[in-house]
Amino acid sequence: MSFEFVVPESWPETLTLLAQRGDEAFVLAGGTAFTLLLRQGLIRPAYVVSLRRVQDAARIKADAHGGLSIGATATHTDVVRSSAVRGAWPELADAVAKVATVRVRNQATLGGSVAHADPASDAPVMLAALDAQAVVLGAGGARRRIPVDELLVEPFTTTLAPTDLIHSLEVRARRPTTRAVYLKYTPRSADDYATVAVAALANVSDGVLHDLRIFLGAVGPRPMRASSVEKALGSGRVDARAIDDAAALARDDVDPIDDLRGSAVYKREMARVWTARALRELAGL
């Protein structure tokens, strides 16, 4: 097999290439998913655009207020080790550290993980809970921000056009009361995809979980928002009982399938169990 492999050195150059051949182009970041698909014979690329040399594409920086910007081609390892990420959102670094193995983390990028839209991936679930925004460059260099939660539509499908590129991911600054957690349940082996994963965020004061956001991974076509759980906990003080009652609603907030990581029925139960654990951790119970 042969394909044309181009290695642009800037975002504008990359956008120009995509404008010319976007429909047939594969954008390559870390290449972990691409290589698997290629070796399984599921894709036959004719034209591959590597982001490897795009200047500053992997830059991670924190702004003066504690917001984070993570370049699309920053690897999972870059994120885990970044002092900017550790300072602003250590929970994000911890979540990303749970991805697969060190060899995968050294190669796979955060932008790639979002663009690939595998519903079993870890980073998109945590990014959705943190209400992260993808900074997207479109035709002609137009820049727009799309919440990660809205970008992911269904397995391996995003709202991005073939001529769009994820430039970076932005996570807003936390408040002093903000707590976040990412729990990943991998009953088979630690480096596996999750049977269920839960990412949750809240501003916690006086036993109340304000602005609660809960997303579950690997139990639906995309990161699934546990809206009924969020609603049930409302703005009242939470205790163990309230958490257990609310977490039971997670069973119907998800849409899992039977596979080798568990039956759909089992995954609904695990969604309940792990949502309750995540909430207890947030509430400090």
How far apart CA 23 and CA 163 sit, in angstroms, is: 8
> What residues numbered 111-150 form the site for another protein, per CB under 8 A?
116-117
Q: Which is nearer to another protein, 219 or 278 (CB)?
A: 219
Q: Binding of another protein at residue 191 (CB under 8 A)?
A: no
Residues in the interface with another protein (CB under 8 A) total 17
Q: What radius of gyration, in Å, describes the C-alpha atoms of the chain?
A: 19
Longest dimension (CA), the chain: 62
Contact 24, 49 (CB under 8 A): no
> What residues numbered 27-66 form the site for another protein, per CB under 8 A?
34, 37, 40-44
Q: Compute the C-alpha angle 1/28/169, nearest 5°.
A: 165
**In this chain, which stretch among 60-68, 153-161, 177-185, 274-282 interacts with another protein, using CB under 8 A?**
153-161
Name the minimum Å distance from CB 69 to another protein.
26
> What residues numbered 248-267 form the site for another protein, per CB under 8 A?
257, 259
For residue 123 the two structure tokens come to 């980073």
**Per-residue x/- marks for another protein, 192-221, CB under 8 A?**
-----------------------------x
Residue in the block written with tokens 């079993």 = 120
Q: Which is nearer to another protein, 9 or 259 (CB)?
A: 259
**Which is nearest to 99 in space by CA: 133, 125, 73?**
125
Helix or strand or coil: residue 216? Answer: strand
Which residues are near another protein by CB under 8 A?
26, 34, 37, 40-44, 116-117, 154-157, 221, 257, 259
